[in-house]
Amino acid sequence: MYKRLSSVMFPIFAVLLIGALVWGYQENQEKNAILIKAENQYQRAFHDLSFHMDKLHSEIGNTLAVHSSSQGMHRKGLMNVWRLTSEAQNEINQLPLGMLPFNETEEFLSRISKFAYQASMRDLTNEPLSKKEMGNLKTLYQNSSEIKNSLKEVQQKVLADRLRWMDAETVMATQEQKNDNSIVDGFRTVNKKVKDYPELDWGPSVSNMFTKRSVKKLSGMPVSKEQIQEKAAQFSNVESGKIQVQENGKGTDWESYTATTQHARNGKLMMDFTRNGGKLISYSDTRTVGAKKVSRQEAMEQADQFLVNKGYKDMKAVNYDEFGNLANITYVHKQGDTLIYPEKMSVRVGLDTGEVTGFQASDYVYEHNDKRQIPKAKLTAEQARKKLNSDFKENYVRKSLIENDYSKEVLCYEFGGRINGSRYRIYINANTGMEEAVEEIKPVNATS
């Protein structure tokens, strides 16, 4: 009996064992193939980064080498600097540096990129590079030389010792400083050098891109939890005693409050307020939204009425999006006959009942200015219209205040219309006639 049983079971176990060994071997091969592929990608990105930093240094040098009146060569050089910094940033993003402090270098490259782009895009014939900007380029030339040389040292070690990025990633994951690794140590050295560089005066347009909003900029005195509780009760029409208030970011520039209360329909109402002035930043109703029953027009009417009821006057809807059974409507503040795009907010509507389920007003809170002076337009709408493509079919025109690529507020004529089968908004500077921005409006989302 045992012989018969063993004669049957032995082949089965043998097949299972062989199958397990084959499966394990294939899994191991696939794992190794994935690791090799990842390692090759890391190596390629690193060597490309070293190459582009070398080229960046050379390109800045070329830009400095020509005569100060060589606007054409300056433009070409700055465009190449912008392209190379963009390439370097892309390669940094491909490396496993998430756990390695390399933010100083990334921000440094970002500032160079923004500076080079903005300088190259302006009319250098009428506004050539200033002495300060040329001085910045000389400093960047020296700094990029140090970064280039440091990366080359790491590159030489990688090639000579056949170092692997996978090993560097393991060291970073352990977060133990005592674990030495030439790649990790090299990048830490580069980042430390960049951190020690003196701050350059990039000019307001570049600096504004890196200026983080702070509640310190807000008007109004700091408010207490009790005051927030009352504000939340007034906004949500819920008894103040049923509202819990939590303080966030105490001791930082981002101090705020979150007010929470239970919803009657198995959800929560959550409201975020600034500490200075107690201004509402966001509102969210977490109730479950049912099937769509409300039309676009009804949703917009409900959102309009919501803003009026909550004290937000002179708001104009400029965009409408639907995501399943939710609608998201973007509003901007209207001052006189001009739309103020920096002062924007969004309202989310549940399309089952038309009730507002969300509200985001951080841009409006930080940018709203009751004393904002709108500049007068030097051009008429008819003069600005001449700058449009002759094939553009205009539907409307209105004045708009927008932020341009230089982070400056500019008055524009906003033309809405169609060309090449698509809908667009084209913003023409009301003073210079230059195109400041072009925005395509998706057919299912567009409103005018």
Convert the pLDDT of each residue in 96-133 to its tens digit. 776 566 778 888 888 888 888 888 877 788 888 888 88
Q: Does residue 274 contact residue 215 with C-beta atoms inside 8 Å?
A: yes
Quick one: pLDDT at residue 25?
57
The proportion of the chain whose per-residue pLDDT surpasses 70, expressed as a percent, equals: 81
- The DSSP symbol for 329 reads E
Q: Is 374 inside a domain boundary?
A: no
Assigned domain for 2 exists? no
pTM: 0.64
Which pLDDT score is estimated for 150?
A: 87
Residue 325 contacts by C-beta under 8 Å, 6 or more apart in sequence? 289, 290, 291, 292, 350, 351, 352
Residue 1 lies in a domain: no
Burial (CB < 10 A; 0-12, 13-18, 19+), residue 186, is: buried
Same-domain status, 251 and 122: no
Distance between CA 236 and CA 246 in Å, rounded?
A: 17
| DSSP 8-state class, residue 295 | -
Non-local (6+) Cβ contacts of 345 within 8 A are 312, 315, 330, 331, 332, 359, 360, 361, 363, 364
60 and 180 share a domain? yes
Same domain flag for 85 and 189: yes
Q: What was the pLDDT predicted at 13? A: 60
At 347 the pLDDT is 95
What is the total count of domains within the chain? Answer: 3
Q: Range of 145's domain?
A: 17-210
Phi, psi (rounded to 5 degrees) for 251: 85, 0
Q: Which of 334, 367, 400 is the last residue of a domain?
A: 367
Residue 446 has pLDDT above 50, yes or no: no
Does 442 score more than 90 pLDDT?
A: no
Residues 154, 94: one domain? Answer: yes
Do 161 and 27 lie in a common domain?
Answer: yes
Residues 176 and 254 in one domain: no
User: Which of 210, 239, 259 corresponds to the end of one domain?
Assistant: 210
Secondary structure of residue 292 in the 3-state scheme:
coil
Q: 106 vs 229, which has greater pLDDT?
A: 229
Q: What tokens does 123 get?
A: 């009319």
Pick from 72-81, 119-128, 150-159, 374-383 the range whose average pLDDT is largest: 374-383
CB-count exposure of residue 281 (10 Å: 0-12, 13-18, 19+): buried
Model pLDDT for residues 303-326, shown as the tens digit of each residue: 999 999 999 989 999 999 888 899
Indicate if 123 and 167 belong to the same structural domain: yes
Indicate if 66 and 199 belong to the same structural domain: yes
Give the DSSP H/E element, type plus range, for residue 151.
helix 131-161
| 159 inside domain | yes
Question: What amino acid is encoded at 318 in this protein?
Answer: V
Query: Is residue 447 in a domain?
Result: no
**For a pLDDT cut of 90, what percent of the chain falls above it?**
32
Cα separation of 98 and 147, whole Å?
A: 20
The pLDDT of residue 98 is 63
C-beta of residue 344 within 8 angstroms of C-beta of residue 364: yes
Alpha-carbon distance 277 to 345, whole Å? 18
CATH number for 406: 3.10.450
Output the CA–CA distances (angstroms, integers) from residue 375 to 335, 365, 407, in the order listed.
Answer: 12, 22, 16
- Number of Cβ within a 10 Å radius of residue 350: 23
Q: Using CA atoms, how far apart are residues 165 and 182, in angstroms rounded to an integer?
A: 10
Q: Which of 367, 392, 410 is the last residue in one of the domains?
A: 367
- Please tell me the predicted confidence (pLDDT) of residue 123: 77
Amino acid symbol at 21: L
In a domain, 78, yes or no: yes
Helix, strand, or coil (residue 184):
helix
Q: Are residues 158 and 191 in the same domain?
A: yes
Q: Which stretch, 138-147, 248-257, 260-269, has highest mean pLDDT?
A: 138-147
Question: How far, in whole angstroms, is CA 121 from its chain's centroid?
Answer: 22
CA atoms within 13 A of residue 81's CA, in its CB half-sphere = 31
> What is the DSSP secondary-structure string of 384-422?
HHTTS-TT-EEEEEEEEEEE-TTS-EEEEEEEEEEETTE
Burial class (CB in 10 A: 0-12, 13-18, 19+), 112: buried
Token readout for 312 is 């937000």
> Which of 77-86, 116-125, 285-294, 356-365 comes out lowest in average pLDDT?
116-125
Q: CA angle, 364 as apex, 302 and 336 as ends, to 5°? A: 80
31 Cβ contact list (under 8 Å, min separation 6): none
pLDDT at 11 over 60: yes
Measured distance CA(9)–CA(73) in Å, rounded:
82
In-domain check, residue 215: no
Query: Could you tell me which residue, 261 or 4, shows the higher pLDDT?
Result: 261
The predicted-structure confidence for 145-200, as pLDDT tens digits, reads as follows: 888 888 888 888 877 777 777 777 666 666 555 455 777 777 888 888 787 777 77
**Same domain as 235, residue 149:** no
**Residue 383 dihedral angles phi and psi, to the nearest 5°:** -65, -40
> How do strand 338-350 and strand 326-335 relate by DSSP bridges?
antiparallel
How many helices (DSSP H) and strands (DSSP E) are in the chain? 11, 12
Same domain, 226 and 332: yes
Q: Which residues lie below 8 Å from residue 4, measured CB to CB, with a gap of 6+?
A: none
Output the six-digit token pair for 357: 């389920």
Pull the structure tokens for residue 445: 């989302």
Q: Across residues 197-206, what is the average pLDDT?
A: 64
Closest residue by Cα to residue 153 from 77, 53, 248: 53
Considering the domain architecture, whether residues 165 and 21 belong to the same structural domain is answered as yes
| 376 occurs within a structural domain | no
More confident residue, 66 or 416: 416
